[in-house]
Structure 1
Amino acid sequence: MRKTTRYPIQGANSLWQIYKTVSFWKVFKNVIVILIARYTPFMSWKVWMYRKFLKMKVGDHTAFAFMVMPDIMFPEKINVGKNTIIGYHTTILAHEYLIDEYRVGEVRIGDEVMIGANSTILPGVEIGDRATVSAGTLVNRNVPPGSFVGGNPMQVIYTKEEMEKRRNHDRLTDPLNK
């Protein structure tokens, strides 16, 4: 279940009223920072920009691949653990604007998580430590630690226990380990 806070609105749809919910200047600054970071080839620079200018919480040795798109309106609600990889062209949302309301929720991505390319993470989701998200996945609910998930809608492909079994089997059958 996603954890979001709902804010009802009156009149035109919530996106039409965007600057009643977040400052224009905050969005403007965030767009500039995110555009620069998306094309920056140096992981340490990206992480520094996200921490310094967007107030994102990002752990050490976390890598944001080329063209990752963090939330423009509420990037400070994104928390990524250490030694995590966010794949190419992934979108991380901390908000959603709907017709009659908008919702905001923290996104928590654990330590040593692997998120495949072209994934979308919705607001209010928690991805547990050492989880793997397959490329092209819509992460629309929490991901258990150590599991392997994928698809649209997202499904658990392997649980933590099944993943550990597979890793042990691969270690035993890998000719390079002998």
Structure 2
Amino acid sequence: MRKTERYKVEGSSSLWQIYKTVSFWKVAKCFIVIEIARIMPFLAVKNWMYRRLLKMTIGARTAFALKVVPDTMFPERITVGSDTIIGFNTTILAHEYLIEEYRLGDVCIGDRVMIGANSTILPGVTIGDDAVVSAMTLVHKDVPAGAMVGGNPMQVIYTKEQRQQQSTEKS
């Protein structure tokens, strides 16, 4: 189960009530910053924008590829470790607005993680150090450190121990 906080709403759907949960001006600022960062070719500038303007926690030498979309409403709930690569067109969500409730959850991505292109990471997920997420994966639950995962729904392809065993057999 993902680690999310649940907030019930009454009346119209939670998305229709969005500006009761987050400021319009915050969403507008985040949207503008993210759209500029999506096409920013300079990784250091992009990381500076995420850290300083969106209050995300980003480790040293982390690389966000072109077109990555961090959460536009709660980017401060995203933490990414050092030496991590987030692949092209990946979406990292820290919120989900449903019919009768909305949910918020921290996303924690470890050090030396590789996330393949076109993946989606849902709120409340932790991806452990040295994990590999294959392209087009829906990360709907925690990823153990060192594991390789993929698919929709996500499944563990190799555990850390299996990956280490493969490496030693090839040597």
Matched residue of 2:44: which SS?
A: helix
- Matching of residue 77 in structure 1 with residue 77 in structure 2: yes
Alignment match, 2:125 = 125
Matched residue of 2:96: which SS?
A: strand
Alignment match, 1:176 = none
Matched residue of 2:89: which SS?
A: coil
Alignment match, 2:106 = 106
What pairs up with 1:22-101 in 2 under 5 angstroms?
22-101=22-101
5+ residue gaps, structure 1, are 173-178
Once residues 168 and 29 of structure 2 are traced to their aligned partners in structure 1, the CA distance between those partners, rounded to angstroms, is 47
Alignment match, 1:163 = 163
Counterpart amino acid of 1:38? R
Once residues 28 and 134 of structure 1 are traced to their aligned partners in structure 2, the CA distance between those partners, rounded to angstroms, is 32
Counterpart amino acid of 2:10? Q
Percent identity reads 67
Counterpart amino acid of 1:42? F
Counterpart amino acid of 1:151? G
Superposition TM-score, scaled by structure 2 size: 0.99
Counterpart amino acid of 1:83? D
Matched residue of 1:2: which SS?
A: coil
Q: CA offsets, 1:22-67, max 9 Å, x none? A: 0000000000000000000010011000000000000000000000
Matched residue of 2:99: which SS?
A: coil
Count of matched residue pairs? 171
Q: CA offsets, 1:50-95, max 9 Å, x none? A: 0000000000000000000000000000000000000000000000
Alignment match, 2:137 = 137
Counterpart amino acid of 2:147? S
Q: How far did 1:168 drift?
A: 2.3
Q: Which moved more, 1:61-70 or 1:161-170?
A: 161-170
Once residues 167 and 13 of structure 1 are traced to their aligned partners in structure 2, the CA distance between those partners, rounded to angstroms, is 50
Q: Which runs of 4+ in 1 moved over 3 A?
A: none
Counterpart amino acid of 2:114? M
Alignment match, 1:151 = 151
Counterpart amino acid of 1:16? W
The higher radius of gyration belongs to: 1
Q: How far did 1:165 drift?
A: 1.4
Alignment match, 1:115 = 115
5+ residue gaps, structure 2, are none
Matched residue of 1:156: which SS?
A: strand
Counterpart amino acid of 1:103? R
